[in-house]
Each structure stands twice: as structure tokens, then as C-alpha cells.
Structure 1
Amino acid sequence: MGKKATLEEWKGLYEMAIKIKEMKPWERLNDLDFITIEFDENSEPIVCSILGKGGETYGICCYRGYEEIYKLFSMIESKDMPPEQVYRYQDCLACYFGDREELNNKEYKLIKDLGYKFRGKGNWIFFRSFDPIFIPDMPNRDEVLEMTKILEQLYYALQGMYFGFNVDYENGMMLVRAFDKKTGSWVNRRGFLEDLEMKFEVSLRHDELFIKRIKNKKPTKVLLELDIAYLNSIFKDEKYEKPLVMRMALLSDRKIGMILSHHLVTPEDKDTDIYFNTLLNYIYHNGKPKTVFVRDKYVYQILKDLCEKINVELKISKKLPAIDFFVNVYNSNF
């Protein structure tokens, strides 16, 4: 999980957060008016979303790289998905300007150790690291240092806006703050949201002989649902510093609502392998389904090549009725 940051390192992060809070950027920006940070031409972009325009949650969410940015857009488009399944897209570093009651004991102690005397509603600053595998917790040392660098450049980007650097957010633009290697300096420029589109590259080695055998399996009229579902349960393991969110790989028959296979997913498991092998194992023993329904574009891309090779239809469905029913029953009993 990484080492803990020192008080001095935390101090640097808090100082940047306080500077940004004083600017009240939510008065100018909506949460979808992104500011993108590019540290060099070889690194993936970091997208910052400013929360607070709606008057509820105030803060900054930082999405580091294309995978986290993809999850951000998936979360925005997840209105038809069961709420407990949206957690799979919670993957970012966040700074919040909230109330005393929102802090846990570790966060409150840190603020006291740093000598800050926050008072009043919306004035308590705290940080969370979100990971779809673990429950949210305080950032580790590497994350503290990374977020300090991000907030520093976000601060200068916001300064540029306040001094007249205008961005046409209504027409799909965003502010980009990038390091120019040629001049050795930081610059603000305008970019477009489509520049953030994730390029799916799912590298799975196929056993072509096995694929050929699978392709020749008898076709059926079965409609399958396949997902790694999130359950409203957490569990602790001595191997990990933080409690884990319980995730279960589920394969179901969409027509009759029956769960055909299930097993818990651990942090050591690769999601790509689980999706791929679960479907292959089913087909090997039961024949080819007519259609396989998956939750989102990411899983679709994992299985797309396989399904094309074996002539099985693949569709995206944010609601998976059989799996969602199983999850609801499980959650109501635990």
C-alpha cells in the first residue's frame, strides 16, 4: 500500500489545497469543466474536476491517466446502472472541503498535528484515495507527493483563468496546463474533450487451437450475463493494509434468471483473465450462447475479439437483470 507521508509532506499538500480553496473555483466551474495537467509528452494526462457548483459536495477529484479518465466518463454515463455497481468507477485522488463530521479519527488527528484550526461548515480539508478494490482511505506517501504536484499546477491553471485565459467549455473545450520541454516552462492552452478518449488495448494471448475447438461448439439460444459485481460488503485480510470491497465474478442465464457460476475476486486476480476464462469455460462445457451481455465498454473490448472469432453476439447492458437480482438478494441478507 506504500509508506506514510511525513508531516512536512502533508503540510505541502494542505498548503496547496488551502490556496485553491481561497480561490473558490466552483463559483466559475462546473464539475464537468475539466482542467487537464500534462507533466510531459510521454506521460498520460491528469484530469481535475472541481466539485461544488451544485452547493453540495465541495472539492477536487484528480483522475490520473486514461484508465481513470475512462472510469470518470463511465461514471457520468452510469445513470441506468444499479447504484452499487457504480463503485467500479471510483478511481481517483480527491480533496474535500467538508464538515468535521465527515472526517475519520486519523484525518482529524493529522489536522491537529499539523496545527491547523479549521472551523465551521465546509472548512475542514481532508483527502481520500479511491480504488475500486479497496475502501477509500487516506493517501499514502507517493499519492500525497503526487497530489501536491497536481494541485500546484491546478492552482496556476486557475490563476490563468482568473487573469483572462478563457475556455469555451460549452462547446466541448477544456483548459490544458502542460510542460513545454522546448522552453522548459509551463503553458496554458485549450484542448478538446475527445482528446481524452481512452484507446482500448486489451492484450490477451489466445490459444488458437482451443479457440478453434470452441468455435465448433454447438450454438444454443442461451442469453448470458457476465460481470464482476460489487457487493455491499467489505472484508479484511492480513495481507492487505486496507479492507477490501467484496467483488464476485458472476455468470448468469438472462432468460431464466439463474446464476451459472460465481466466485470471489481477489486483488491478485486479473479482471481481464476472469472475464475471458469464465466465458471460455462455459462454452467448452455447454456450447455457444446466442448473446453475451456485459456491463460496459471496457468488458466489451476484453471479449470483442473472442466473440467475433467464435461467432457469438456481444452486447452492452448497464442493467443485468439476473445478476442484479442476485446482488440485491445477497445485499439484503448481509
Structure 2
Amino acid sequence: MNELKLYQFAKKFNNLRPWKWLFSTDIFALKMPKYQDIYFCSVLGNKEKELGLTIYKGIPGLVNLIDTFVKGYENYNEFLLCQQGFAVYFNDKSDLPKEDYDYAFTSGECFEDEKLWPAFRVYKPGFYPVRPNDNDLSLIADILSYATDFIVDLKQYNVSDESFFEQNICYLREINKDNSYVDKSMVIEDMLKDYQRILKVPVAYDELSLARLKRNTKKLNQVWEISYFYYPYPVEQDGLIFYPINLLMVDTESQRVVAQHMCSPLKFAESFQKFILSHFNQNIAMPTEMVTDNEDLFCYIESMYKGLAIKLTLVDKLFLIPHIKKQFTEMLEKQNNN
């Protein structure tokens, strides 16, 4: 990893001040010769507090980027917890974390006369953003080097009052090995039309254990809500900094929290499956029906619930768990402020 090149490219990008003419919704993309995937980029700073560049990999990344425009997140923290990509931020020197200051200071590139210094982050759902590894930093350096030239040329396309996203357009630069390139205007809907999200569903149980549990467990004529949300404050464990995931099951009639389980984002689907089965086994009872508003959770437990003959329904909105989550978050914030 060439630290000097990385910081030189970051400085050159920053000196352009691209946020003066590009919005975060002006999506552009790069197809580089060293990499198989297309990388989608968004400039921060025109309306956002942060100045910088966000980077998303492939069509799944484009979907993630578009979600940041159209989804209604309850707060900034929830928004960050759903991100999967990279970011280059430019911060006032006095606001820069010491680690980032040290990296920039020892890179060999002079920033002493610069007001804004760069910091690099990798985002993964549920994990606290940290500095990327060397391979990812090399990728970011390449993107910065190509993006700087492309952004200058994007000025000629930025003539409408509408952003590229509002026009359903993404400008793509395909770079060849000899550094020649071709610019294309891509229709975003066309890029997404064949995309199918693939969710890997782990299995932490076997059919025999499900059959045994079904046979030996009483069915309650009850409907439970089930969903999960991130704990709002990070914790550190085994060198990883993450936001724990909190799984809740709530009886809709009594409005009582039946069970609660908190775990790491690592292999959380398996952890959920094991906890649910353990809860049913210990209480020798399970409901006849459960409802969830979380599509991923539905996929993680659907097959397991079929084996237990529990009706599982995916709904647009739950009534109890969001209220419990709000109370829980407010309580933690109050404790944290005291």
C-alpha cells in the first residue's frame, strides 16, 4: 500500500471542492481495469454536514446508495448502521481523530497548509466504522485518482436543476488498461431491473430436532411480534467494535415482552435461530402465529417456523416493538447523558 499516493490523490480530490457543484444524488460510477466490479460514488458536502466521497461496490452497492436517498431512517445512527461501503471524509485539522492525523502526518504528503485533512472509513452493517485495510485503501486510492479527473468532466453534464438520480441517470466512466476511457450515460432503472438480492440463510438446527420440539411443545393460541434493532451504542469485544443486535418477541394480547436476546452482528442469524428454539424448549410452549416487519428476519426463520407449524407473516408495520424500541432508546440516552 503506497500511503503517499493515497494521500496525494485525497489532497487533489479535496482541492477540487466538488461538493460546490455536485450533490450526493449526482451518482457517478467507475469501471477500472484492475477490478471486476463497477464502483458507484457520491460526493458529500453540498447539503450534508460531512465533506467527502462515499463508495459502493457493484449493483448491491448501488441499491444501498439509493436506499440512503429514499428510505426514512429514524436517526443518523440508524442510517450509518445500514451502510456497506467506503468513505473518504475531509475534516478540519482540529476535529480529526488522532489516529487519522498521525496517518496523514506520516504519509509524506504535506498537509500543514491545508484546512481539511482526509480520513478513510469502511462501513459494514452493525459494525463501528474503522480505517480500511491496506487492500481496501489501495482500491480507494485508485478510485480517487480516476474520480478526480471524471468529476471535472461531470461539470458539463450537470446542467439540469435536477440531480442525476432525479433524472434516472448515472454517468459511468470505463477505463481501459492504457488509461483511455469511454463515458456512458446509464439509465438507473435499467441497471437495476435484473438485480435480485441474494440473502444467505444459515441453518443452525436439524429437521429431527424441529420434529421433536413440535411434538413435545404446547401450542399457545397467541400471536407474537418478532423483530430486531441495533443497540444504539457500540461495544468492544475480541478486538471488534460493534453495535449489538437486540431481538424481541412480544405477545400482542398482553403486550408483554416474552423474550429478548442480544448478540453480536457476527453470525446473528444462527444466534437468533438457536435462541428461539431454546426459548420454546425451555418454556415447553410456542405461539400459533408470529408477525414480523423485517424481511431479512422473515427469511432467516421462515423454514424453521414451517417445521414447527408456526404461521409466520411479513407485515409492513408492527405496533408494539417500535414503541418498546423507542422507550428503550430514550432510557439509554437518558442514562448516557447523566
Instruction: Report the TM range for the smaller structure's normalisation.
Output: 0.7 to 0.9
CA contact (8 A) 2:83 2:123 kept: yes
Deviation at 1:104, TM superposition (A): 1.0
Q: Tell me what 1:325 maps to.
A: 327
Closer/same/farther in 2, CA of residues 304 and 150 from structure 1, 3 Å limit? farther
Q: Tell me what 1:174 maps to.
A: 170
CA contact (8 A) 2:202 2:269 kept: no
Q: Tell me what 2:41 maps to.
A: 48
**2:198 is paired with a residue of what secondary structure?**
coil
**Cα deviation 1:279-321 (Å, max 9, x = unaligned):** 55556753345342234x4444445666678542112448722
Deviation at 1:253, TM superposition (A): 0.6
CA distance in structure 1 between the partners assigned to 2:332 and 2:150 by the alignment: 46
**Cα deviation 1:93-140 (Å, max 9, x = unaligned):** 11122212320112222232224234465x222222233344223222
Closer/same/farther in 2, CA of residues 306 and 73 from structure 1, 3 Å limit? farther
Q: Which structure 2 residues correspond to residues 241-280 of structure 1 after superposition, within 5 A?
A: 242=240, 244-253=241-250, 255=252, 256-266=254-264, 269-279=266-276
Q: Tell me what 1:90 maps to.
A: 83
Identity in percent: 18
CA contact (8 A) 1:254 1:321 kept: no
Q: Which structure 2 residues correspond to residues 201-212 of structure 1 after superposition, within 5 A?
A: 201-204=198-201, 207=206
CA distance in structure 1 between the partners assigned to 2:73 and 2:158 by the alignment: 37
**2:232 is paired with a residue of what secondary structure?**
strand
| The 10-residue stretch of structure 1 (145-154 or 248-257) with the greater mean CA deviation from structure 2 | 248-257
CA contact (8 A) 1:225 1:322 kept: no
Closer/same/farther in 2, CA of residues 263 and 282 from structure 1, 3 Å limit? closer
**1:232 is paired with a residue of what secondary structure?**
coil
| The 10-residue stretch of structure 1 (278-287 or 195-204) with the greater mean CA deviation from structure 2 | 278-287
TM-score, structure 1 normalization: 0.77
Letter in 2 for 1:261: A
Q: Tell me what 2:182 maps to.
A: 187
What's the Cα RMSD here? 3.7
CA contact (8 A) 2:248 2:261 kept: no
**1:56 is paired with a residue of what secondary structure?**
coil
Letter in 2 for 1:286: A
CA distance in structure 1 between the partners assigned to 2:74 and 2:118 by the alignment: 31
TM-score, structure 2 normalization: 0.76
Q: Tell me what 1:117 maps to.
A: 111
CA distance in structure 1 between the partners assigned to 2:226 and 2:332 by the alignment: 17
CA distance in structure 2 between the partners assigned to 1:118 and 1:274 by the alignment: 49
**Cα deviation 1:234-289 (Å, max 9, x = unaligned):** 3333x32x5x123033122163454333333235x313323444555556753345
The correspondence for 1:152, drawn from 113, 124, 145, is: 145
CA distance in structure 2 between the partners assigned to 1:254 and 1:32 by the alignment: 42
CA contact (8 A) 2:234 2:244 kept: no
Closer/same/farther in 2, CA of residues 91 and 306 from structure 1, 3 Å limit? same
* Higher-Rg member (1/2): 2
**Cα deviation 1:60-88 (Å, max 9, x = unaligned):** 01122445444434443442535543332
Deviation at 1:12, TM superposition (A): 1.0
CA contact (8 A) 1:25 1:158 kept: yes
CA distance in structure 2 between the partners assigned to 1:111 and 1:303 by the alignment: 46
CA distance in structure 1 between the partners assigned to 2:301 and 2:18 by the alignment: 41
Closer/same/farther in 2, CA of residues 168 and 233 from structure 1, 3 Å limit? closer
